Amino acid sequence: MDKLLRRADALLLTATHATPLARRLPRPLAELLFFVLKLARACLFAFVIFASIWVVPHHGIGPVPRYDVLLLIAVGLQAWMLWARIETWDEAKTILVFHLAGFALEVFKVSPAIQSWVYPDAAYTKFFGVPLFAGFMYASIGSFVMQAWRMLDERIERHPPYWMTALLAALMYLNLFTHHFLPDLRWYLGAVALGLYARCQVVFKPLDCERRMPLLLGFVLTGFFIWLAENFGTFFGVWRYPDQFGAWATVSLGKWSSWAMLTLLSFTLVTNLKHVKERIQLAP
């Protein structure tokens, strides 16, 4: 499996417009095709997690509850990615930080005093109302950011000073907790992000030529697709919001902004990796 994946990666990373799959198409369509293929490859971790949500029966497998089966799949997948060197240990450590931050947020959100959502099923690996599997859904965001960085040969131009982005990410994370008791500052923090990253561009290679777009747009688009995945997860009853107990309903669009901010947090963590920092140009 790992050899097949490495072969596919090599084909994607070395593709040019002369590649048989690309040369039959006009360049814009060829670049769009390879952009989608590379993003799909970067979603490997998330794809397996959400495919498992779809495949694993609601009642679990034999005596093992569903959440525990999903945890075993997620741990096995992470171990395989390390063994196959699809992710490095440094990358895994960074993902673990985001995993723990996500799990802490989950524990707070499902607590009796807040009850923003609930995990309705029983599990052996469920603590404080949250299955350990839940943290891997956050880890999949970090994995996507890192895999996309490699697959698209990304680099950053005019990145804000690291201390500013770290402070902003920390405030956005804290606001996810404090807005239940204090005024919600997400839109003010969003405005700060807009100003801070206004000139920041991500440069990437969908095929063999560099393209660029505002980094903020990348956060927003990633947040949107995570919102779609959240709808998928709630549809299959992995967790539920209060308005979904009678019948399933679409997750509020307001969650889109939260996921965009969590993507910013994940990217801020990733920028601490040495091989990523080497390809970041700070704003003068």
Query: What are the pLDDT digits (tens) for 202-213?
Result: 999 999 899 999
Assign 214 to helix, strand or coil: strand
Whole-number Å distance between alpha carbons of 115 and 138: 19
In the chain, where the domains are located:
2-282
The residue with greater pLDDT, 246 or 39, is 39
Residue 185 is classified by DSSP as -
Q: What percentage of the chain reaches a pLDDT higher than 90?
A: 46
Question: Has residue 44 got a pLDDT over 80?
Answer: yes
CB 125 within 8 A of CB 71: yes
Q: What is the pTM of this model?
A: 0.88
Confidence of residue 65 (pLDDT cuts 50, 70, 90): very high
* Per-residue pLDDT, 229: 87
The mean per-residue pLDDT over the stretch 264-284 comes to: 86
d(CA 240, CA 243) in angstroms, rounded, equals: 8
DSSP-based three-state secondary structure for 64:
strand
Per-residue pLDDT band for 1 (boundaries 50, 70, 90) equals low
CA 228/CA 96 separation, integer angstroms: 23
Q: Which residues of 116-143 are buried (b: 16+ CB within 10 A; e: fewer)?
A: ebbbebebeebeebbbbbbbbbbbbbbb
String of DSSP letters for 117-134: -B--S--TTEETTEETTH
Residue 168 has pLDDT above 90, yes or no: yes
Q: What is the pLDDT of residue 155?
A: 93
Band (232; pLDDT cuts 50, 70, 90): confident
DSSP state letter for 243: G
| Mean predicted lDDT score pLDDT of the chain | 89
